[in-house]
């Protein structure tokens, strides 16, 4: 659907501010690159992209500063989706269009007409991932789960997807023996995996809410000489690092999330809203299952 939102021509320059949750994340970096690329393609659009450094207060300040500067539109990748109510109110008060990208705002069903949301439907991400893990494990065994941040809808939904799949008849004999939030980060997820392995936790699979955590799970497993042919590891995003891990036979499953579709789409929506045009308030960019048999199809898509 993002392709249907190509921007119309406009007379005046548009200033669009962008607040990214963090620059220190592989997928968010791809998303930011896509936003900046689309901005560069549009002669009459000026983007100002800022790093919220995973701090809610910093992001709220950035948005308030953008409003004070009377920008034409704001794009936000939220640090904490619970904080989006305040963002909505501030933007709506001054009638500045606001576009959320990637992380679903908690009040998505209550967005005013000049606000919108573009992402991939997280019900599909964890569902595709876990169904494939279930198939590879033949519907039985024990797994550990590395969760994303529980302050945003993405981490919450991807984890819920796992539980929903494991409640189905064909996957009900797979049990979660440990779960912990790694906040999407390699360092924290590595510490969690190392602790589980040191404690002697036994498992047949690892489901991580993103590729970054899946990759360090693999590294921790290989560091203690675990046989990777006997452990299923799954992530989400289909980043280049993840695809390389799959080529090496270590990562079994990932799910492609389209940063170009989301990033470019968010700019297109912001341009349309700034020009007073109507847009869909929710735009979904499909997730796609990636396994060794089709991984090379995604080699140049991130």
Average predicted confidence (pLDDT) for the chain:
93
The CA-to-CA distance between both ends of the chain, in Å, stands at 18
Identify which of 40, 63, 39 has the alpha carbon closest to the alpha carbon of residue 50.
Answer: 63
Q: State the pLDDT confidence band at 2, using cuts at 50, 70 and 90.
A: very low
- Count Cβ atoms within 10 A of the Cβ of residue 194 and give its class: 0-12 exposed, 13-18 middle, 19 or more buried: middle
Helix (H, G, I), strand (E, B) or coil at 274: helix
Is the pLDDT at 102 greater than 70? The verdict is: yes
Sign of the torsion angle spanned by Cα atoms 184, 190, 195, 201: positive
Read off the pLDDT of each residue in 78-89 and give the average, rounded to a whole number.
89
- Count Cβ atoms within 10 A of the Cβ of residue 190 and give its class: 0-12 exposed, 13-18 middle, 19 or more buried: buried
Percent of the chain whose predicted confidence (pLDDT) is above 70: 96
- 8-25 pLDDT, tens digit per residue, is 333 348 999 999 999 988
CA 219 – CA 174 distance, rounded (Å): 24
Identify which of 285, 284, 274 has the alpha carbon closest to the alpha carbon of residue 115.
Answer: 274
Read off the pLDDT of each residue in 132-158 and give the average, rounded to a whole number.
94
Q: State the pLDDT confidence band at 109, using cuts at 50, 70 and 90.
A: confident
Identify which of 236, 294, 254, 251 has the alpha carbon closest to the alpha carbon of residue 102.
Answer: 236
- 183-241 pLDDT, tens digit per residue, is 999 999 999 999 999 999 999 999 999 999 999 999 999 999 999 999 999 999 999 99
Is the pLDDT at 122 greater than 60? The verdict is: yes
Percent of the chain whose predicted confidence (pLDDT) is above 90: 85
β-pair partners for 142: 175
Give the predicted TM-score (pTM) of the model. Answer: 0.80
Question: In this predicted structure, what is the pLDDT of residue 150?
Answer: 87
- Count Cβ atoms within 10 A of the Cβ of residue 264 and give its class: 0-12 exposed, 13-18 middle, 19 or more buried: buried
Is the pLDDT at 176 greater than 90? The verdict is: yes
- Would you state the structure tokens that stand for residue 217, as one six-digit string? 């799970």
Is the pLDDT at 4 greater than 50? The verdict is: no
- 261-300 pLDDT, tens digit per residue, is 999 999 999 999 999 999 999 999 999 999 999 999 999 8
Identify which of 94, 15, 72, 77 has the alpha carbon closest to the alpha carbon of residue 48.
Answer: 15
Question: In this predicted structure, what is the pLDDT of residue 106?
Answer: 86
Question: In this predicted structure, what is the pLDDT of residue 252?
Answer: 98
Read off the pLDDT of each residue in 157-181 and give the average, rounded to a whole number.
98
Question: In this predicted structure, what is the pLDDT of residue 26?
Answer: 81
Half-sphere exposure of 154 (CA within 13 A, CB side): 25
Q: Which of 6-10, 102-106, 120-124, 179-183 has the lowest mean pLDDT?
A: 6-10
Question: In this predicted structure, what is the pLDDT of residue 104?
Answer: 86
Question: In this predicted structure, what is the pLDDT of residue 15?
Answer: 97
- Please report the domains of the chain, with CATH numbers, ordered by start residue: 2-120+259-285 (3.40.50.2300), 122-256 (3.40.50.2300)
Question: In this predicted structure, what is the pLDDT of residue 3?
Answer: 40
């Amino acid at each position: 659907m993002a392709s249907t939102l190509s921007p119309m021509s406009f007379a005046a320059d548009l200033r669009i501010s962008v607040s990214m949750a963090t620059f220190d994340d592989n997928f968010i970096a791809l998303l930011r690159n896509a936003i900046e690329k689309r901005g560069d393609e549009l002669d009459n659009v000026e983007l100002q992209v800022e790093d919220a450094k995973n701090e809610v207060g910093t992001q709220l300040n950035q948005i308030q500063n953008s409003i004070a500067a009377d920008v034409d539109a704001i794009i936000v990748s939220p640090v904490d989706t619970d904080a989006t109510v305040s963002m909505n109110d501030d933007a709506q008060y001054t009638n500045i269009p606001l576009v959320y990208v990637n992380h679903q705002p908690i009040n998505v069903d209550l967005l005013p007409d000049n606000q919108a949301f573009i992402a991939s439907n997280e019900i599909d991400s964890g569902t595709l991932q876990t169904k494939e893990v279930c198939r590879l494990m033949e519907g039985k065994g024990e797994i550990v789960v590395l969760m994303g941040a529980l302050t945003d809808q993405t981490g919450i939904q991807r984890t819920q997807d796992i539980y929903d799949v494991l409640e189905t008849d064909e996957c009900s004999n797979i049990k979660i023996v440990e779960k912990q939030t790694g906040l999407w980060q390699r360092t924290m997820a590595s510490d969690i995996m190392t602790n589980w392995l040191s404690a002697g936790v036994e498992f047949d699979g690892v489901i991580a809410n993103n590729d970054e955590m899946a990759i360090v799970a693999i590294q921790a497993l290989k560091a203690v000489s675990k046989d990777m042919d006997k452990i299923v590891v799954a992530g989400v995003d289909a980043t280049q690092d993840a695809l390389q891990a799959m080529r090496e036979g270590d990562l079994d499953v990932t799910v492609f999330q389209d940063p170009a579709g989301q990033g470019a789409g968010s700019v297109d929506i912001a341009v349309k809203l700034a020009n007073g045009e109507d847009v869909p308030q929710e735009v979904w960019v499909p997730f796609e299952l990636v396994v060794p048999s089709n991984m090379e199809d995604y080699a140049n898509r991130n």
